[in-house]
Structure 1
Amino acid sequence: MGTDKEAILRRLEDNCKSLYADYYEKVDYKLPITVHDKSTCLGQPCTCPVHYESRRRQVRRDGLLEQLRLFQQNRDTDRNPKAERGAPRVKTAGRPPGDVTGFLALDEITCEAYALLDRVFEEAGRDRLWLVNPLKEVLQGLRYQVSQFYDERPDLALDVLKATDKWVKQAKAALRVTVSDAMFGNTVCGNCGGGLSVAWDSSSDVRCIGTPAAPPCGETYPMSEWVALYERGKRDKDT
């Protein structure tokens, strides 16, 4: 199994898991700690100094599709830098029966998934009856299904990968948990030559976003490699 095939299938599996599987998210917060001075606050209104300690905890999240189902009851905060853009977030009441953006996104993803996979399976010669399963079960087995026709029809495998990229992005946008991306410097992916991006607040790894003609290869670069990436891009620009 070649490197490109492995990277594409791994990225496909990661996308599918984001859509159907629970995951844990790191949440950073500040805990107020009051330092009491018994000689001054005993029996008096407390005016003792308060300092804040940084803490981190793990929070279990439902898969993105399940979060879309529960969108109306559990809305997450928009993480995009709207204040910096001069556009503070203003909540606008949705029309009856409420804000249905999340439910519309779920319906759109579901319909598109079955339509696209039905076409792909027909062209690849796979059994289309497998698609009668619920979407969660379809996604759970999608890597295996794509791996069966990847060698003969890599173009169809890339169609499925690009679609799952889109569904994950669409779900996160509807849930308002996505963080805007920024292009990373003037360098490109060392694996495929695609563009690189990183979350605006540097909360993510630098990741390959592909080119207009090709999907991302799945390569990521942790923070420990950012300086080397930047210096490489600077050298390439100078030469």
Structure 2
Amino acid sequence: MSAQDGYDIGGDFLRSIARRDDLCEEISDLVKQLNRGWREKVHYRINITLKNEMGVTTEERAKTVAHPGLLAQLKEFEQNGDNGPRDGAERSAPNKPGSRPPGNMRGFHLLDEISVEVIRFTEDCYLNLSGPAENALCSVDELLDQLQRMAFNYADTQPEMVEEIRVRLRKWVRTCRLALSHDLRETMLADTVCGECGGALAVGKGEVTDVRCIGTPEAPSCGLRYKREDWLALLEAQNESVG
């Protein structure tokens, strides 16, 4: 069939290349979120005191925040998530709670579950390719890089396997982001700042989410996270001081 009959061979080829490139780019981004980290722009508002003490207004700001890999965040929570304040900080005044990593009890088990899934799935992919597994003594981060290379090398010849790689990576990223409260929409807390560094605070829209410090336009976040019971105590203490 000729191009005049409505079949554009060149156009179909270019579209298939574009789909392949989009697929590989998405897989690369998903792997990066899991094992190397990513950067995101956070929008927030701060209070600005007008000149001559004529009042206070708000101003919208934005800053870029660097996040470690999701698996590294889960590991931190697994190690320190319920051991009290980090770095030996005292939990004294309610307006300055100790720092804890994000998440909930789900985070204690999620890292192990995902690690086992990555190992088994990588083995299945090598079996599908009828080749020897290269995952002996490899870390989970290295296995994720191997899955990415498989996707790049076999996107044309093993499209079903590569699509399954994307599906699995999407699942792992989504599960991690939900457990770590990254995917909840956040709202700035008005008139309340981080008790550690004075940075702005943001909270996800949910009943049991943590409040996290996102820093200031001049300084990055100190990494502090307030558990729900802590930031409620913080708000109550500030309301009492105002009253």
* Same fold, TM-score > 0.5, yes or no: yes
5+ unaligned residues in a row in structure 2: which ranges? 1-15, 82-99, 186-204, 206-243
Separation in structure 2 between the aligned mates of residue 178 and residue 163 of structure 1, nearest angstrom: 18
Q: How many residues are treated as equivalent by the alignment?
A: 150
**Alignment partner of 1:143 out of 141, 148, 165:** 148
Separation in structure 2 between the aligned mates of residue 62 and residue 145 of structure 1, nearest angstrom: 24
Which residue is equivalent to 1:59? Answer: 65
Which residue is equivalent to 2:193? Answer: none
Q: What SS class does the counterpart of residue 74 from structure 1 fall into? A: coil
- For 1:50, give the aligned amino acid: V
Contact 2:35 2:141 in 1 (8 A): yes
Contact 2:74 2:110 in 1 (8 A): yes
TM-score (norm 2): 0.55
- For 2:113, give the aligned amino acid: E
Change (3 A) 1:125 1:147: farther
Residue 117 of structure 2 is aligned to residue 103 of structure 1: no
Residues 31-72 of structure 1: CA distance to partner in whole angstroms, max 9, x if unpaired?
2222253xxxxxxxxx74111111111221111111112232
Which residue is equivalent to 2:102? Answer: 75
Which residue is equivalent to 2:56? Answer: 50
Residue 45 of structure 2 is aligned to residue 9 of structure 1: no
5+ unaligned residues in a row in structure 1: which ranges? 38-46, 77-98, 181-199, 201-239
Residues 70-97 of structure 1: CA distance to partner in whole angstroms, max 9, x if unpaired?
2323227xxxxxxxxxxxxxxxxxxxxx
Separation in structure 2 between the aligned mates of residue 2 and residue 34 of structure 1, nearest angstrom: 54
Contact 1:30 1:54 in 2 (8 A): yes
Q: Mapping of 1:23-42 within 5 angstroms?
A: 23-37=38-52
Separation in structure 1 between the aligned mates of residue 131 and residue 25 of structure 2, nearest angstrom: 21
Residues 122-154 of structure 1: CA distance to partner in whole angstroms, max 9, x if unpaired?
111233133531011222242222333333322
Residue 181 of structure 2 is aligned to residue 166 of structure 1: no
Contact 2:122 2:135 in 1 (8 A): no
Normalized per residue, which structure has more helix?
2
Change (3 A) 1:33 1:4: closer
Q: What SS class does the counterpart of residue 183 from structure 2 fall into? A: coil
Which residue is equivalent to 1:128? Answer: 133
Change (3 A) 1:152 1:28: closer
RMSD in angstroms over aligned alpha carbons?
2.4
Separation in structure 1 between the aligned mates of residue 48 and residue 155 of structure 2, nearest angstrom: 57
Separation in structure 2 between the aligned mates of residue 55 and residue 149 of structure 1, nearest angstrom: 44
Change (3 A) 1:134 1:33: same
TM-score (norm 1): 0.56
Which residue is equivalent to 1:96? Answer: none
Q: What SS class does the counterpart of residue 132 from structure 1 fall into? A: coil
Separation in structure 1 between the aligned mates of residue 71 and residue 38 of structure 2, nearest angstrom: 12
Give identity over the alignment, percent.
24
